[in-house]
Structure 1
Amino acid sequence: MARRLPPGVSDRDFAAALTQFAAAVGSDWVFTSEADLDLYRDAYSPLWGTREERLASAAVAPRSVEQVQQVVRIANRYKIPLYPISTGKNLGYGGSAPGYSGSIVVDLKRMNRIVEVDDRRHFAIVEPGVSYFDLYNYIQERKLRVWIDCPEPGWGSVLGNALDRGVGWTTGHFRDHFGSHCGLEVVLPSGELMRTGMGAMPNADTFAQFPYGFGPTVDGLFGQGNFGIVTRMGIWLMPEPEAYATGKVRVLRRRDLIPLIDVTNRLEHGGLIGLPIYDSPLASLIDPELTALTSRVDVPDKELDQFAARRGLPIWDLTLQFYGPAETVAANWSYAKRLVREAIPDARFEDGPTFRFPMSAQDQKQVPFRVSIGAPSLEGFSQGPVRSRFNPYPMDGHVFFSPIIPKTGEAALEATRVLADVMAAMRIPGLNPLFRPPQASIFRSLLLVVGLPISRTDPKINEASMKIFRHAVKLSAERGWAEYRTSPIFSDLISSVYSFNDHALRRFTEALKDAADPNGIIAPGRGGIWPKHLRKGRQK
């Protein structure tokens, strides 16, 4: 693909800026060749190879905060838009490609210092290039008694995932990665350096302990925002527990999901369990009768219950995860069974294994969900593009549709109907969307996640996925549901549904944008926030 210069920037000014970037960071760390810039394309873009694909004009990889400041000041001088990335592994949500074509990617992978890990106060301070694998290995090598909470896969940036509001697998307050961050260091659009919270106080030793400091809290502007480049972040870590155990609950009717979620909410919000994992043995069952049933979005729940009964299968499985002292873990599982029995008398239970810590790397392989004990992997990444009996013709990637829905069984059942509508348009065999419950990764809500297929060789697949995405956004918005993160190519679409009082939130953030970044150089369009001179191009 031909390189796209930043709109409104002359060849002469662009060349001058590149020369100054090279002087600031070293010529080896300014990338302009087509081969290099291919690495900054969104590998999962549904616009791959089209005129609308978002492409970088160049990339620059600073090594220090001072170099980031120089890059920002040079960009201001020539009014060149910048698009910062941490490790660029945000696949399904835009990858390493800029949201605005012609931007220069600021690749922070070289800023990979683990500044501190404290296993007495349970926090880490990291730079943007630190991956979950990096932080995990650092902790393991030093035999520190803390866990990270990581997503799947674990090759992404700890800082970057938090800023994009990623989620993980352990207990609720650690799964919320932005919610468990504490303190930011930011290069502002002017090139000035700022620290938030207690970090704003020189020599404070509580940067990663107390997030608020004094006065307004501004950290939220840098989560999915474009108000600066974050170069350091504190993150709270989970103290290593004595034990971890799982227990499984099985229920026989679709509408049992309503009391099941109510009970689980009581357990989780009371701090007694970690991530609850909802599933169904019918979700991937290949059966002609079930395929016929689930092809009808309005099929009555009773018919689905009767089918499951004939096959001798439960409708829903729920895996509960417990952390803490061994005695507490056992008591909490016993209490959970009592609550479920009171709500669903014919529920079935299966005791899972109990593991104790510290644990060897070999023993960790026996844990069903290794990410649930803070051990990163790449297994989650392999599921989409891998050939299987459910996916005989794997695509080249996917784009995520992921709205937030209420944390009730009623909303969850309705979400399966919405998912069935979306999946019917996708025409993917072997999947039974009426038995694919939303995820509970978000602590106080449920998350409906659909990966729409992407192909580099068949543009019709990409066109269909984008059409389905827009249809799904409409269906969700009608119910008051909206996405919590998205690929930059859909930022304007998602921003448009947050429309209370004539988009008061967006108007407010764009007023802040104009004040803090008058040249509009930091990630224009990210989060649906555009600088004044580009707002006319906002996609409806």
Structure 2
Amino acid sequence: MSTSTNEPPTPPTYPASYSGIPERLLHKAVRDKSRIWNHQSIDFLTPRKRGLAIPAGIGRSEFLKAIEDLSHTLGKEHVVLNDQPLEDGWYMEHPNTHDAFMIMDGEETVSSAVVYPGNVPDVQLVVKWANKHLIPLYPISMGRNLGYGGAAPRVRGSVIVDLGKRMNKILDINPDDCTCLVEPGVSFYALYEEIQKKGYKIWVDTPDLGGGSVIGNTLEHGVGYTPYGDHWGAHSGLEVVLPTGDLLRTGMGALPGSDAWQTFPYGFGPISDGIFSQSNFGIVTKMGMALMPDPGGDETFLYTFQNENDLLLLVDIVRPLRIANILENVAQIRHATIEIAVSGKRRSEYYEGTGPIPNEVLQSHLEKTPIGKCTWVYYGTSYGPPHVRKYKMDIVHQEFMKIPGAKRIDPTSLPKSHYYWSRAKIAAGQPDFEELSYMNWVPNGGHLGFSPVSPTRGPDVLKLWKIAKQRHDQYGIDLFMTFVVGMRELHMINLVVYDRGSPERRKAVEKCMRLMIDDAAKAGYGEYRTHLLFQDQVARTYNWNDNALMKFNEKLKDALDPNGILAPGRCGIWPERYRDRGWEIGPEGRDTSEGQGVRPSASNGRL
């Protein structure tokens, strides 16, 4: 990508590119790419200052010889050194070499090379090669969790194992069982398009943006917005390459000849699937997933609430309705700042001052929108035939209107450009692209996700809201907050949007994040997911009984990965070679991602 032309190249499309966007959404992708392109003040290509990143514990010549050996066995075209200028790209053309939304210097969390296996034997070959040479690997599915580090490795100089580029097959879609079996490079867009092509009456549960990997999102405990919104809860069956190169299938997949792999997740004996989610214990090469049968109709509804403190009563109203499945889907309670930012307009069009946008300014602009003045916006969807939907929605309306000033917005009053229509598509299992629009809020837009979990109870949510608001005010950051309501739990997804071209704003965002993590933990709330540079800090807030959970994870890591080659440091889990050598980054933060080298392998690198 280059800044030498006025217009950005057209985004890739699916199926021409496995990671592309469907033709039906191309106009949105072109629009948003142009917005970002025209609001960019930093170069899209960053020259390298430090040269090729060599992983700790291995010399440059030794590393290059190892890469040459891998090229001979995997194929030269499938092994690429990362020694060129860093290209940040954007959502549909994201880098697989570093974190485009950098907090530290971009060369801190950077890979040494990228390899592209084409099948399971290739993955096993790469893993055995890494054990032989003691080179850390960092596997990605598609690398699009951009608010959490993207494709960047935690250990500088790791070799990225990009599973998505060549392992992107939809292996099975069963319309009778409503299940599928996919490889890591299958996006929500691709799965949806294939189902539509075949004419099946089944839905894909999709997150806000559909370009990410179905497997990657599920392993990260991601959520979507239909009644099947708990993606990990909807999976059934994993195929995993272990850190030694051995191959494993979980659940019914361990029984030769079984055709129940995607229908019954438990199999017999201990359920091992969980240790491969948010971990560095294996590389998932296949996954089964439950799909949702067409419910025979759907209707998205929108309510607004006027005051900040309405949140307390609203959440307590939502909880019993959600547990009883009157509120059926993973719904959203969004702060009104997002309502204007998702229009794609720049912050400067609303407010040019410093610090968070004042509430009176926000309300003056909201007054001009179709939904009017408000603080909280609730998006939900009801499913089934019309008479079933009406019965449930009448109950919801009666309960929501107990809050003074609550207002139901008539969808027919909303223009087709309003975000409501995108929300309605997503809640009906159709991946969309609108959510990316808020990245144009500031120049060089980047974001981090602060994502603690609480019970769906008003007092808990109010505490989290106040923690986030206090720290955002302290560091002059606009509050982009959504409460995502699960069945009994609630995720506060706080998107910290910032100018990644400003070292000062990056540092302010890092301080804000680290303080919010500690504030939330002291109040009893833990993050369910975080950026790779905060994973040590978050993991160590889960420290009950003298860090019993981390000690258990470290035992598993050392047993399964004796050479410590697979994604060291991921989710705060460090192998013995790296442990207690200064790699961990605590609440105080620092400017470097690296520690003080590594210990020799317990098995001298020979498996």
**What range is the shorter-chain TM-score in?**
0.7 to 0.9
Which residue of 2 is the match for residue 16 of structure 1? 65
- Structure 1 pair 78–146 and aligned structure 2 pair: CA distance change class (3 A): same
Taking a change above 3 Å as real, the CA distance of residues 339 and 64 of structure 1, as seen in their structure-2 partners, is same
What pairs up with 1:261-410 in 2 under 5 angstroms?
A: 261-272=315-326, 273-279=328-334, 313=373, 316-340=376-400, 343-344=402-403, 347-350=406-409, 352=411, 368-384=423-439, 386=440, 391=441, 393-410=442-459
Which of residues 172, 186, 203 in structure 2 aligns to 1:147? Answer: 203
Match of 1:524 among 559, 563, 568: 568
Letter in 1 for 2:427: S
Deviations 1:455-510 (A, max 9, x none): 45321221111111111112111211121111111111111111111111000010
In the superposition, relative to structure 1, how do residues 64 and 427 fare at CA in structure 2: closer, same or farther (>3 Å)?
Answer: same
The match for 2:224 is 168
Letter aligned with residue 210 of structure 2: G
Alignment of 1:219-238 (within 5 A): 219-238=273-292
Partner of 2:143: 88
Question: How far 1:15 sits from its partner (Å)?
Answer: 2.9
Distance, in Å, in 2 between the alignment partners of 1:421 and 1:256 is 18
Query: In the TM superposition, what are the counterparts of 1:34-73 in structure 2 within 5 Å?
Result: 34-35=83-84, 39=95, 40-49=97-106, 53-73=108-128
Instruction: Report the AA paired with residue 14 of structure 1.
Output: F
Question: What CA distance in whole angstroms lies between the structure 2 residues aligned with 1:421 and 1:205?
Answer: 53
Residue pair 2:117, 2:163 contacting (<8 A) in 1 also: yes
Q: Are residues 1:424 and 2:476 paired?
A: no
Greater alpha carbon shift after TM alignment, 123-132 vs 454-463: 454-463
Contact 1:198 1:211 in 2 (8 A): yes
- Distance, in Å, in 1 between the alignment partners of 2:491 and 2:224 is 12
| Alpha-carbon contact 1:453-1:462 (below 8 Å) kept | no
Distance 1:488 1:277, change over 3 A: closer
Residues 1:495 and 2:527 aligned together: no
Tell me how far 1:396 sits from its aligned partner: 3.5
Q: Distance in 2 between matches of 1:349 and 1:456?
A: 38
Please point out which of 154, 159, 162 is paired with 1:99: 154
> Could you tell me which residue of structure 2 aligns to residue 182 of structure 1?
236
- What does the per-residue CA deviation read over 1:317-347, in whole Å, with 9 as the maximum and x for residues that have no partner? 4333101222211111122233445x54875
Which amino acid in 2 is paired with 1:230? V
Residue correspondence of structure 1 range 244-259 to structure 2 within 5 A = 244-251=298-305, 254-259=308-313
- Does 1:450 find its partner at 2:506? no
Instruction: Tell whether the 8 Å contact from 2:240 to 2:283 is kept in structure 1 after alignment.
Output: yes
Contact 1:168 1:441 in 2 (8 A): no
CA distance in 2, matches of 1:368, 1:493: 33
Encode CA deviations 1:120-153: one digit per residue, 9 max, x unaligned.
1111110001111111111111111111111122
Partner of 2:175: 119
Q: Provide the secondary structure at the position in 2 that maps to 1:451.
A: strand
Aligned residue for 1:474, secondary structure, equals helix
Distance in 2, Cα, partners of 1:247 & 1:156: 26
Structure 1 residues without counterparts, runs of 5 or longer:
296-306, 354-363
- For residues 253 and 383 of structure 1, the distance between their equivalents in structure 2, rounded to whole angstroms, comes to 23
- Which string of whole-angstrom CA distances, capped at 9 and with x for unpartnered residues, describes residues 88-118 of structure 1? 1110101111111121110001100100011
DSSP-derived class of the 1:439 partner: strand
* 1:27 aligned partner, one-letter code: K
Distance 1:457 1:271 in 2: 45
* CA shift digits 1:249-296 (9 cap, x unpaired): 4455544433332232222222232133324558778799x976789x
TM-score, scaled to structure 1: 0.86
1:79 aligns with 2:79: no
Contact 2:297/2:386 (8 A) holds in 1: yes
123 and 12 in structure 1: CA distance in 2 versus 1, 3 angstrom threshold: same
Residue 304 of structure 1 corresponds to which residue in structure 2?
none
5+ residue gaps in structure 2?
1-47, 88-94, 341-349, 362-366, 413-418, 587-607
Note the aligned Cα RMSD (angstroms).
Answer: 2.8
Aligned length: 499
Distance 1:459 1:499 in 2: 32
SS class of match (2:567): coil
Return closer, same or farther for 1:365/1:27 CA change in 2, 3 Å cut-off.
Answer: farther
Q: Partner of 2:10 in structure 1?
A: none
- The aligned amino acid for 1:80 is I
The residue number in structure 2 matching 1:356 is: none
Tell me the secondary structure at the aligned position of residue 333 of structure 2: strand
Deviation at 1:156, TM superposition (A): 0.8
Query: 1:482 matched to which residue of 2?
Result: 526
Counterparts in 2 of 1:63 and 1:116: CA distance versus 1, 3 Å: same
2:555 to 486, 499, 511: 511
- Tell me which moved more, 321-330 or 186-195: 321-330
Matched, 1:131 2:187: yes
Percent of aligned pairs with the same amino acid:
37
